[in-house]
Amino acid sequence: MRKITILLLLAFFVVLSSSAQFKMSEGSKKVATTMAVIENMYVDKVDDNKLAEDAIKSLLEKLDPHSTYISAEEVKEMNEPLEGNFDGIGISFNMLTDTLYVIETIPGGPSEKVGLRAGDKIIYVNDTLIAGVKRSTKFVTSRLKGPKGTTVNVKVLRRGVPDLLNFKITRAKIPVYSIDASYMIDNNTGYIRITRFGATTSKEFSDAVKKLKDMGMANLLLDLESNGGGYMAPAIDLSDDFLEQGKLIVYTEGSRQPRRDEVATGKGSFEQGKLVIMINEGSASASEILSGAVQDWDRGVIVGRRSFGKGLVQRPIPLPDESMIRLTVARYYTPTGRSIQKPYTSGDLMSYNKDVIERYNRGEMMHADSIHFPDSLKYQTLVNKRTVYGGGGIMPDYFVPADTSRYTPYLGSIGNRGVLYKVAYEEVDNHRDEIKRKYPTKEDFYESYNVSDAIMKRLIAAGEEEKIEFNQEQYDKSEEVFKYQIKGLIGRDVYDMETLIKVFNDHSDTFKKAYEIIKDDRLYNKLLGK
């Protein structure tokens, strides 16, 4: 009898079989028996592994939106951004018009060491043509990545050089960072943006806080907008940085999992000073643990829009073929006892995933009074006794509506077709050295660079090449958005991601309001109920 399929289906039982409390139900035995009968008696040949995967997926879909089956390949792809490194050649790139453009080479990485530059176009990877043949980003990435110490040969087209350049690159460990911007907004206000909670987030945050404190930071604006979470441990570590010793950060509990409390140790690197955290509908999981702890202890002000509402705890359970089950075993609760998880109906994954769209349709993105909570979901903060709400996600202390005033169908078409990226890349490709001569530092660029009328004419022409009909009225309404997005993209490509973030923040209503609050003692204290 072939056993692999049964093992795949029941691997999580095997993992837990050492527990004296574990028992296999009659229903589980029935499923395993059915699989074995199909394998050995079914009239036609079947793909045992595929059948097992489908069965597992079907079982998990009946539970909750976050209990999932992940294939071996997906496990590796999922872990890389969180583990803090991966094996590769050390570049950031984008595929544009079927060509791989190198945005930047990682400092000290293998590509920089052999002479690859930002602006280079990779045409061949190991004699496989990747330019002009509609290769997917996943296809290209799979050929550039590989085990540390192995080599990859690339042929590159460089501006001003008539022939292709050959590079032999030895792959190495490439760092993946969680923080893509940390800078001083003014003499005493710092800003840190965290994009994910990974293995290196705690150290990155500690280093960023130290750097900014050395520059005079007394107050901190922490940006968690669209941070979908990641590992729980760094969210607890960062909460610990803000909270005094002995204060509850978060607790987890499930019907088969006893309550587990996570408590601040008093190691905090930023227990004093004003704190404002920015969140939105894309902030989830670990972001909500941190925001909820800060809000419940009245430690800082939360600004933006209601967060996603992902408060289910998954335990990874490896299967024999290196695939994985992520099974929900408990729920997250903030210190006041609020469940972070938004409501869901078992088996209705489509409605769950469309929740953010429904929020928009209900007007929640534009008007705080469109959000209604029953009295049963009211809680009081632990110090100042302010009213906060449970029922899914973290409701900010100050609501900032989504800005739709400059959105037009023309803007949407230009953005969706990649025209902005194309125009920015071409400007950098043609004028990189000129830009760097005129603006020697990223600060010079941020303060003084303006998008020219000539660039905007190229934007319109590039849109028409993509069969996007020009609309003067809509263009005028969205012109400011076009300009700052192009400036940000050029700044990223010539300097770094922080330059893009700074440009975009200047046009973010949430950032502007968060900064206003942190600078206004009276408003800050009023929002905290002091």
Of 120, 241, 296, 298, catalytic: 296
What CATH superfamily classification does 179-343+351-402 receive? 2-enoyl-CoA Hydratase; Chain A, domain 1 (3.90.226.10)
**Residue 521 bears catalytic tag:** no
CA pair distance 219, 187, nearest whole angstrom: 10
351 within 8 A of 40, measured Cβ to Cβ:
no
Of 310, 342, 502, 513, catalytic: 310
Give 390-401 as a 3 state SS string: CCCCCCCCEECC
Of 111, 182, 285, 508, catalytic: 285
Q: pLDDT for 26-53, tens place per residue?
A: 777 787 788 888 888 888 888 888 888 8
Phi and psi at residue 477, in whole multiples of 5°?
-70, -35
CA pair distance 476, 463, nearest whole angstrom: 15
Architecture of domain 85-175: Roll (2.30)
| Domain 85-175 shares a fold with domain 179-343+351-402 | no
List the chain pLDDT tens, one digit each, 530 residues.
444 444 444 444 444 443 444 567 777 778 778 888 888 888 888 888 888 888 888 888 888 888 888 888 777 776 666 666 678 888 888 777 678 888 878 777 888 888 888 888 899 999 888 887 777 777 888 888 888 999 999 999 988 888 899 999 999 888 888 999 999 999 999 999 999 999 899 999 999 999 999 999 999 999 999 999 988 999 999 999 999 999 999 999 999 899 999 999 988 899 999 999 999 999 999 999 999 999 999 999 999 999 999 999 888 888 888 888 889 999 999 999 999 998 888 777 777 777 777 777 777 777 776 666 767 789 999 999 999 988 889 999 999 998 888 999 999 999 888 899 889 988 998 899 999 999 999 999 999 999 999 999 999 999 999 899 999 999 999 999 999 999 999 999 899 999 999 999 999 999 999 999 999 999 999 999 98
Q: pLDDT for 228-256, tens place per residue?
A: 998 899 999 999 999 999 999 999 999 98
- Give the C-alpha distances (Å, rounded to integers) separating 492 from 102, 103, 425, 497: 12, 8, 10, 5
Enumerate the H helices of 366-465 as residue ranges: 409-416, 419-438, 442-448, 453-465
**Residue 202 bears catalytic tag:** no
DSSP secondary structure letter of residue 252: E
**Residue 25 bears catalytic tag:** no
Which three-class secondary structure state does DSSP give residue 513?
helix
With the CA atoms of 153, 155, 156 and 160 taken in that order, what torsion angle do they form, in degrees rounded to the nearest 10? 130
Tokens encoding 26: 């009659």
Is 503 exposed, middle or buried, given 0-12, 13-18 or 19+ CB atoms closer than 10 A?
buried
Domain ranges of the chain: 28-62, 85-175, 179-343+351-402, 409-495
Q: Is 246 left (phi over 0), alpha (psi -120 to 50) or beta?
A: left
CA pair distance 501, 489, nearest whole angstrom: 10
